[in-house]
Structure formats: C-alpha cells, structure tokens
Structure 1
C-alpha cells in the first residue's frame, strides 16, 4: 500500500459516517479486491473518517491521492503512479473534487466508483463531470439516510448512459456486498448503446484499402465497413465529413493539431476513420482503436552487374591476401638469397625467379646444397602448393558456378555496403 501526502487521524464523525466507512471497506474487500485501486478522499471526509483504521489490513494494492493538489500534470512522477489504473475510487462530500472535473492526462482508469459521504447526493452533477463522461464504466453510491436508525442506512448504486435517449441516472439496486461481488456486477458499460445518436466521421477518400470511392461515387473500404458494423451493434447513425486537401494531423508547438486530427480536437467531428499510424503522442491525445491493419516496409535493390572477365584472375583472393602473398614472396626471396651465399651463390634476380617459379608450378633451376637452403625451399614449395590449390579451386568455382549476392537483411548492412 502506498500513501502520498495525506495526514490521517480519527476525528469525531456524524451519525452516518460509520455507514460510509463500512461501505468503503466492503467495496475494497469485495468487488475491488485484487484490482489496482487509486483512492482519493475529499478533505472534508478525511476529517470525519479514520482512514488509518479503514485501510489497515487491505490486500488490494491501493494508492492514496492528495485531494488539495491542483497541479495535476506534474504532482506525481511515473515512479509514484501505479503502472495499471484499474479502478479509481473517489470519496466525496457535499462538493465535487478537482479530479472529476480536471482529470490529468495520465489518468485513464478502467472504471470509476464515486462514493458520496454526505446526506445529499447530486447524482446528475457528478455524472456530468468530464471524468465520468469519458470513462467507459462508472458507478455512483448515494446514501439512503434514515434519521431513526442511521447505523442501518443503506446506499443506492446508480449508473447512467449519457448517449441513450434518457440520459438520467439509472438505479441499479441497493448496495450489499453479496449482491455486488465482482466488477461486472458493480459497473456497466455506459457506452454499450448509443441510443441512436448521430456521429460525424471525417475522412479522406484516398486511402485504399481503408477508405476510397468506388466508380459509382459511394464510399467503401475496410474502415467504412467497420464503421457500419459498429453503428449496427452500438445503435448510432453517422454522416461523413469528406475532406480532399487535408493532412492526417501533426501536433503543433502549442499542443493543437492540424489536419483531420485537428477537426476532432476542435470537436467539429467525432472521429476519423482513415488509416493512422499508432504513435505514443497520438494515443496520449486521442482515443485510438486497436490495431487491425499491419503494414510492412521493404527495400528492393537491383542486382549488381557481374564482374568483368579480366577481374576473374584476382577474384579468388581478397586484396589483403594478395598483399600478404606479395610480402611473403619478397621476404622469402631475401631469405633464400642470404642462405645460399656460401653454396650456390645465386644472384638476387635468380633467387627471386626460383621463389616465383614455385607459385607458377615450375621447377627450380638449381638444387641447393646447403641443408638450411633445402629446408627453406621445401617449406616454400609446400606453402605455394596450398596457395595454388586454393586459388585454382576458387577460380574454377567462380567461372563455372553462378554467384548469388547475399540479401540485405537490415539497414545496418545497407549502410555498410558499397551500394549507392
């Protein structure tokens, strides 16, 4: 359990306060048990409830928010906030806290439960707050006060469907932990039926296969058919706002968007049904659908032309190997010349020719008499035999077997290649 910036101590409470504490604890240990809960308690309620006693022994992970902080975007860091915000539980008094009317950008709970800890309950006002209007699942608990027996007071569970024909609060029943045992019992999707509401969809009909115009002028495409299916399932009508010369939408420095996303941001349209790349900034500023179209990117390069025939004699060895062979020939010539100074006394040019002959499968002109010279020459003949076999084999393979260049599998390989 994590608590942030709230002082907790027991205070004298009205006669109905034990009912609030009991219902709050039943909710945390009942349908909200096992879910990530973010709890916010109004300051006036904190002076009446002993939250220390209330939160002791809870098994659900609970984060307690400070209610007087209005710096909603910067008060908490990402390390202080829960990674998953399943349920937001707000305990209010006679007023309505800032969290309902000015929700920060990082707050996107799956469901919101509002518990009214006051004898009067303005259900319609709470349901009109932006947070409850935009959260898929909401529920409101209002006190049923009985002056004769306040300890037996009960709570009414209410919901509302803002897009239905009758957007008034709907009574789901009387709170009891045996009746509302799961999230599905307590919360109902308030957008399960749009009540025939008319929505406006902005689009560019130049986005095959998602949105395009057929030869008869009618719109068609994957997104158009998905919209028609959604309208049938969710009971809403729709009209098109066709634009021909608009951009998809780029976020400007002042936080606003241009293009089609700007139309939605200014509430001139309800949605855009074109194909959009899902980015972090767009998901942060707009409600995006799940990804249903996967598009890949590839590169096509022309095969390089074959090497000229005159280069085939150099192909079997790389430039480093050719340079190494040249250096070894020079060193071997010098060594062969110096070891023969007491025997054959070969000139430098003849020593070089004898060393070179072995590379060309030719016999040496004279057999050395000194054993050191014979050993050096034998090692050189063995080395040149390996070089000749390697060169000849690679050359035959190059001339007889067609070569296929290895494909480029990454951008790094493309950058390291000599292709333009």
Structure 2
C-alpha cells in the first residue's frame, strides 16, 4: 500500500486503546505510512486518554495524523479534532484545531490547519543526531576549549549541511554518540535519535528504512598500475607470434637438411633468408628447383612481414593487455597476489 499509494488517506475507527496502540506500533514497524499519507483516527475516549495516545506513539505524534474524538455534553453530540505538535513555541503539546456540532457546524481554531506542516520550524528545539566519523562526510576532532578542557568539534560535508538545515529550520544539534553503525541505526529505530546523517542506500537497507533525499551518488571503481612497456631489446622478437617463430625455426632446420641430403649447399638457403643474392648455379633437378623456389617465396614473405611489424612495433609501442571486465580483473589480481606470496 505504501509503495503504490503514497498519497492515500487512511481512516482508522476504534474505541479500543489496545487496538490503536497495536496499529501505531505495527504501522511504524512495517513503514505503512509516510508524511504524504494523511491519517485520521476516529475514537471516543476521555480527553486525557486522547492526549496520552497522541503523545505516546511516533505514528501519531510525528506523522501527518489527526484525531477525531466524539463525546457528548448537554448540547448534544460534539466532535473535536486534535493534533500533536512535537515542536512549537511552548514545546510539544496536543491541541484542538477544530470542532463540529450540529448547531454551529465546523469551527476551525484560529491560525490552524487540519494537517499542518510540523517540521517547518522547530522553534529552537534540540534535535538528537547520531553519526560516526566517515571522511569526508563526517569527522570529529578534539580541541582544547576554554580552561584547557577538551571539546569535540565536528566537521565534514554532512555536518555543514546539517548546520545549514539547523539555521534554516531553527533547531539545535545534539550529537548522540554511537559505537557502530548498527547502534546508530538502532538509535533511530528506537526513536532515541531523530536521524542519522550519513547513511548509504543499499538494497538490504531499503527494506528497513525510509530515506529522505539522495544528494550524492557514490560509485565503486578499481585502479591498477599502468602496464609497463616491454624491454626494448625484446622488440626484435615481439613482431611475430610464438607460433610463427616456431614454424620459421622448423623450416630453417628441415629445408637445409633436405637440400644437404640432395647435395646442395645449405649456406645458400641462409643467404636467401637474410636477403642476400640467390645462388649463381641453379639446380638441375625439377624437385630441387621447386624446393628452392618455395624457399625463395618463403624468405621474401617472412623478411618483409618481419620488417613491417618491427617498424610498427618500434614506432607505436604496444602495452600489455589490461583487464576490461570483472572476471579479467579478478584473474589479474589473483595472479599478482600469488606471485607476491611466491616471492615472500
């Protein structure tokens, strides 16, 4: 109901104080009501019980709640509308804002609304705030005050924002110390503190708490050192892949061995591979000519490809690959950690 109908008007009718108390506690626990929800309680109790009911429960005292109380006097039936104002010029109190009788109809009290804004002006009241040091949003520094006694001074972006709100809305900040975030949230849940100023919106917390206004978004990022360039002397090797170098090595070993068996000098093949002049005397056998022609073609392709890649690698150095996904990041970090452990 709360999520789908945030501006719903809720009417609760009961003369049973036990039921009204249970409704106040359960609606607060399940976060049924928000400030935009207008709650009207209809009951028939004594004035003292009405005032105690409004003051005793957060749902009735702090939220947008009005109570319609029925009672009878000599003039007949009479309905009074009561509100609890937690902050006012004379402190917190419950007051009557409207009356209905059959003879006079609805009579509103002077300068009162049925559902007024309760938090536009705190009238100098003390508001308890709980928070923990969390830079740069909240920080606590101890300084020496008058007489040499240590006093705590609060700084940080959230505290400055809170000071601005206190000046604008006329309230005094009272810090309630807490030892952990669990304790800070417990203070808010138990209404010992009005709010905690630093609280990040996480999926699990959205099921338990209402948030006022998000004014800053925090993003997680991972940083790694820029990959180092490979040594310059290794540039002679990196233009070609390991597979290509293995194929060239195999060809250099196998082909000269075959020509040696066929009675041909192996140094001629090495000269052709290095770009020297081809041998003067051509072989007489067709099979040997085909092999030498293939070797010439192989040498030309390998030499020109190697020269082009070598020039490109020297002009535009290539950095080692960096992780681009979360899985690659985990793999790289795990590898670095294992290498550091191995060196230790």
Shorter chain as normaliser: what TM range?
0.5 to 0.7
Residues 141 and 383 of structure 1: is their aligned pair in 2 closer, same or farther, counting only changes over 3 Å? farther
1:205 and 1:219 in contact (8 A); partners too:
no
Matched, 1:224 2:173: no
1:126 and 1:132 in contact (8 A); partners too:
no
Once the two structures are superposed, residues 155-185 of structure 1 have per-residue CA deviations (whole angstroms, 9 ceiling, x without a partner) of 77654323333521442687xxxxxxxxxx9
Residues 188 and 324 of structure 1: is their aligned pair in 2 closer, same or farther, counting only changes over 3 Å? farther
Matched, 1:278 2:221: no
Deviation for aligned residue 1:316? 0.8
Residues 407 and 143 of structure 1: is their aligned pair in 2 closer, same or farther, counting only changes over 3 Å? farther
Matched, 1:360 2:271: no
Aligned to 2:129: 201
Aligned to 1:182: none
Q: 1:394 aligns with which of 309, 322, 327?
A: 309
**1-side partners of 2:297 and 2:72: how far apart?**
107
**2-side partners of 1:267 and 1:146: how far apart?**
38
TM-score w.r.t. length of structure 1: 0.54
2:61 and 2:84 in contact (8 A); partners too:
no
Which stretch of the first structure deviates more once superposed, 122-131 or 229-238?
122-131
**2-side partners of 1:400 and 1:133: how far apart?**
76
**2-side partners of 1:223 and 1:160: how far apart?**
30
Q: 1:292 aligns with which of 212, 215, 236?
A: 215
Deviation for aligned residue 1:395? 1.5
2:81 and 2:97 in contact (8 A); partners too:
yes
Deviation for aligned residue 1:114? 2.6
Paired residue secondary structure (1:102): helix
Q: CA RMSD in A?
A: 4.9
Q: 1:307 aligns with which of 230, 238, 247?
A: 230
Normalized per residue, the structure richer in helix is 2
Paired residue secondary structure (2:311): helix
Q: 2:24 aligns with which of 100, 105, 121?
A: 100
Q: 1:210 aligns with which of 131, 138, 146?
A: 138
Aligned to 1:116: 42
Residues 369 and 173 of structure 1: is their aligned pair in 2 closer, same or farther, counting only changes over 3 Å? farther
Which stretch of the first structure deviates more once superposed, 394-403 or 261-270?
261-270
Matched, 1:347 2:264: no
Aligned to 2:120: 192
Structure 1 unpaired stretches of 5+: 1-37, 39-80, 175-184, 250-256, 338-344
1:159 and 1:188 in contact (8 A); partners too:
no
Deviation for aligned residue 1:286? 4.7
**2-side partners of 1:351 and 1:134: how far apart?**
106
Residues 115 and 263 of structure 1: is their aligned pair in 2 closer, same or farther, counting only changes over 3 Å? closer
Aligned to 2:244: 321
Residues 89 and 205 of structure 1: is their aligned pair in 2 closer, same or farther, counting only changes over 3 Å? closer
**1-side partners of 2:288 and 2:79: how far apart?**
109
**2-side partners of 1:148 and 1:279: how far apart?**
57
Which stretch of the first structure deviates more once superposed, 134-143 or 394-403?
134-143
**2-side partners of 1:388 and 1:120: how far apart?**
105
**2-side partners of 1:191 and 1:207: how far apart?**
29
TM-score w.r.t. length of structure 2: 0.64
**Corresponding pairs, count:** 307
Residues 195 and 305 of structure 1: is their aligned pair in 2 closer, same or farther, counting only changes over 3 Å? closer
Aligned to 1:132: 59
Paired residue secondary structure (2:165): helix
Structure 2 unpaired stretches of 5+: 101-112, 145-150, 338-344
